[in-house]
Structure 1
Amino acid sequence: MKRPAGGSEAASLTPVVFGFQEQAWTSSSSRDGARRLQVALLKAGGWKDSAHLLMGGKEEDHRGILGGVTRPSLSPHLHRLLPPSLLLNDDYRPENCMLGVRCLHHIVLHTAAADLRHFNQAEVVYQALFKHLYTNQAAVIQLTKSPSSPDLPPSRRKPCRHDDVLRLVLTHMEAEHKVALRRVYASALPLYVDRMGVAVCRHLQRVERVVLGYLQISDPPEETSRLKVLDALQKTIKLRLLRMEARADALLLRLLRLLVDVSSDRQLGESVRQELMDQTAASIRLLDACSHGRVQVSHLSPSEGWSLS
């Protein structure tokens, strides 16, 4: 018989709903008991499998425990889902905290924006996630990277919460020395530049300081920080901000220095070295276009077999 619509989603929920997973709140005996309970429920209700039990089928007399769930579907259940998610989000154990962040993320993705704003629930979720930007747990911060908000256009000029988040991220980036956190912040920066669009001009001076600082420090073996910062720089230049022309000289000097450092660093893998040099060259070409051809560089390090032209 054909599996009901949404069966795959329900099947993925089964270990969580019935307590099959190895978690801090489960034990071998509790997991065995959960499996026995599932078998008994399936037999008592005449359900074929766990997905059928949760979601039901097309038959009127076999309505699932969760009913017919469609997306976005969580609005009627916010009063039950938000409290435990917020409690997990506030937990002192990183693994529980990360689970709470994922729950909140899932709620935001599958709840209508108007429903989240009702009773100020959107503000509650925002404040719960914003505070994680102050933690020193790289894995937690990684989960709070720039979201996509379809109800706000990327080119919105009026200062908003994205400014607050980017301002805090840039503050942490300037002072951070831990490699893991530097990689997380550098990976998030291009997302925020994309999200803010031309509104990033409000933070251009600090973005420049961060870019110059991160390009100066090597991040072996994958050079994640440098590559992500180069990505953020290119996205910023492509916005065609008039202020970028005034910053071209300082950026050009750092990029040229980066080419020299990379070309002489024999500890770098060949693929990583080539990617760094290609992205640096792309950044210089964009700077040249941004400054109306003032950056007159046709070939750099010809022995490496590449050029800017």
Structure 2
Amino acid sequence: MELDGARETRPQEGSSLPGEWSPSALGQAFSKILHCLTGQETRLGKARDAALKDLGSLIEDTECERLFEGSGAPLRGVPEILGQVAKALEKYAAPPKEEDGRAEAHSQVAEKATEVGLLFLKLLGKVEASKNSLGCPEWKTSLRHLAGPIYIFAVTHSLEQPWTSPRSREVAREVLTSLLQVTECGSVAGFLHGENEDEKGRFTMIMGLLKPDLNKESWKNNPAIKHVFSWTLQQVTRPWLNQHLERILPPSLLISDDYQTENKILGVHCLHHIVLNVPAADLLQYNRAQVLYHAIFNHLYTPEHHLIQVVLLCLLDLFPVLEKAQQWKGDGARPTTHCDEVLQLILTHMEPEHRLLLRRTYARHLPAFVKRLGILTVRHMKRLERVIIGYLEVYDGPEEEARLKILETLKLLMQHTWPRVSCRLVVLLKALLKLICDVARDQNLTPEPVKSALLQEATDCLILLDHCSQGQVKGLLANILHSCDDSKVVNCIRKVQQVSEGASFDGT
């Protein structure tokens, strides 16, 4: 593309350098470039390439005072047109739809991003130069229009994604660093929520730019949008996030409600961040906490261990918020809680589960549920007993994560519900002794430190079981010492007897 059409409007006869153009001529030049960047016709492909080259020349050759001066431009100021050009550049470098995400398409996106990033660096360099020039106060207006699109571009291409390359990520990170420098922000968080209480920040503006691409019909048109939204959201924490709740909650719910596991996980991460950084009073208002709970709870029916992991972490942090709305007045039984409901479903899924990764994920979070419910865990004793015994019987691989977590759960269960433990003495004692014998004779690749940890945890459980049963365990184990020839098993039994005979034990 040639800039001759714009040069026809230059004010002085014979002037040919962009630095000598009037704001009107600059406005027309940028408008022509904008038209080439936003045109949909296939024939504009070469014109776009020429427009990018002309834009680079225009930025380089135009003096700062001319580049950001907008008082004489027709229809709208040059700063606003520059903002529109920045938006067009960001869209130009955006990755294609997911179904179009072929390897060659991704390499083209990375090339475009590198080219656009270098243009943004030139533009930000001009803004920085204008800051240091007393004769160009208009740079602030231009920066207001430029900051949002440049930020979205930088985040889109600085994260490691299929559409990025090492070079495009390097350029995008340079753009983000330059943007923070120009805006005088020490961090991305400061850029978004303001460096101090008096500064407004740019989070609202960024969310406004993302909003058209974050509705039900359009959010999959650009696969980068969900990552830009999620990453940006997680930069803003207390006490700034609650004022943006109406902007951030709907997109987070939308992403988490997708059929793809990857999107569900990303959406739950967003919802978890909201739960952690928005006051409970705001979440309880308008029944938002219940909406969050039901949206997250439904994911428990999906047998994907990565998803279950993030869902359970989120629910454990949501329970205190939900329980603030429940008031127990002390007259009658305590009402069942959301934690009860989730634990009941987890135990239902755990009993028949045979996939090791899911078993580990469930077992990993079981102690937290027992801690949360405390004495109220007695409501789930029968099912917990079946799960504990069933999981202690199954070898879980070299790290034995599931069995270690189940032993931790059993310890907590006995500590919180000890009056109900003595009637289960025989069943629990058999399960623990079987585990100790299995571990002691284990010829698998289980490392010795893991075996030692299992034996120690099982021994601690036996000691607790003895306390809960008023010393019955010690009596039942007495005869085993005379008939057992395994030193590891004997050592565990002696520890139980020694502690039961008067030595202190930290677990009680």
- TM-score (norm. length: structure 1): 0.83
Shift of the 57–217 alpha-carbon distance from structure 1 to 2, 3 Å rule, reads closer
Match of 2:369 among 192, 205, 227: 192
Query: After the TM superposition, which of the residue ranges 211-220 and 92-101 deviates more from structure 2?
Result: 92-101
1:89 maps to 256
2:155 maps to 18
Question: CA contact under 8 A between 1:15 and 1:21: conserved in structure 2?
Answer: no
Q: Does 1:98 align with 2:276?
A: no
| Alpha-carbon separation, structure 1, partners of 2:267 and 2:285 | 21
Tell me the SS of whatever aligns to 2:312.
Answer: coil
| Alpha-carbon separation, structure 1, partners of 2:269 and 2:295 | 12
Q: Does 1:115 align with 2:282?
A: yes
Higher RCO (C-alpha under 8 Å, 6+ residues apart): 1
Structure 1 residues without counterparts, runs of 5 or longer:
1-13
Match of 1:303 among 470, 476, 487: 487
Tell me the SS of whatever aligns to 2:159.
Answer: coil
2:201 maps to 64
Question: CA contact under 8 A between 1:87 and 1:100: conserved in structure 2?
Answer: yes
- Give the C-alpha shift of residue 56 in structure 1: 3.6
Question: CA contact under 8 A between 1:237 and 1:244: conserved in structure 2?
Answer: yes
Question: CA contact under 8 A between 2:237 and 2:277: conserved in structure 1?
Answer: no
Tell me the SS of whatever aligns to 1:247.
Answer: helix
- Give the C-alpha shift of residue 97 in structure 1: 1.6
| Alpha-carbon separation, structure 2, partners of 1:273 and 1:39 | 49
Question: CA contact under 8 A between 2:154 and 2:176: conserved in structure 1?
Answer: no
Question: CA contact under 8 A between 2:249 and 2:271: conserved in structure 1?
Answer: yes
Shift of the 193–103 alpha-carbon distance from structure 1 to 2, 3 Å rule, reads same
- Over alpha carbons, which structure has the higher Rg? 2
Q: Does 1:207 align with 2:391?
A: no
| Alpha-carbon separation, structure 1, partners of 2:401 and 2:432 | 16
- Give the C-alpha shift of residue 73 in structure 1: 2.9
Q: Which has the higher helix share?
A: 2
Alignment of 1:172-191 (within 5 A): 172-191=349-368
Amino acid at match of 2:286: F
Shift of the 199–64 alpha-carbon distance from structure 1 to 2, 3 Å rule, reads same
Once the two structures are superposed, what CA deviation does each residue of 1:98-136 show, in whole Å capped at 9, x if it has no partner? 111111011001111111111111011101110111111
| Alpha-carbon separation, structure 1, partners of 2:177 and 2:457 | 57
Amino acid at match of 2:305: A
2:294 maps to 127
Q: Does 1:241 align with 2:418?
A: yes
Question: CA contact under 8 A between 1:72 and 1:109: conserved in structure 2?
Answer: no
| Alpha-carbon separation, structure 2, partners of 1:66 and 1:170 | 42
- TM-score (norm. length: structure 2): 0.52
Once the two structures are superposed, what CA deviation does each residue of 1:111-169 show, in whole Å capped at 9, x if it has no partner? 1111111111101110111011111110010112251444549xx84211111100000
2:24 maps to none
- Give the C-alpha shift of residue 295 in structure 1: 0.9
- Give the C-alpha shift of residue 269 in structure 1: 1.6
Structure 2 residues without counterparts, runs of 5 or longer:
1-150, 205-235, 329-333, 499-508
Question: CA contact under 8 A between 1:240 and 1:290: conserved in structure 2?
Answer: no
| Alpha-carbon separation, structure 1, partners of 2:268 and 2:172 | 26
- Give the C-alpha shift of residue 64 in structure 1: 3.0
Q: Does 1:279 align with 2:457?
A: yes
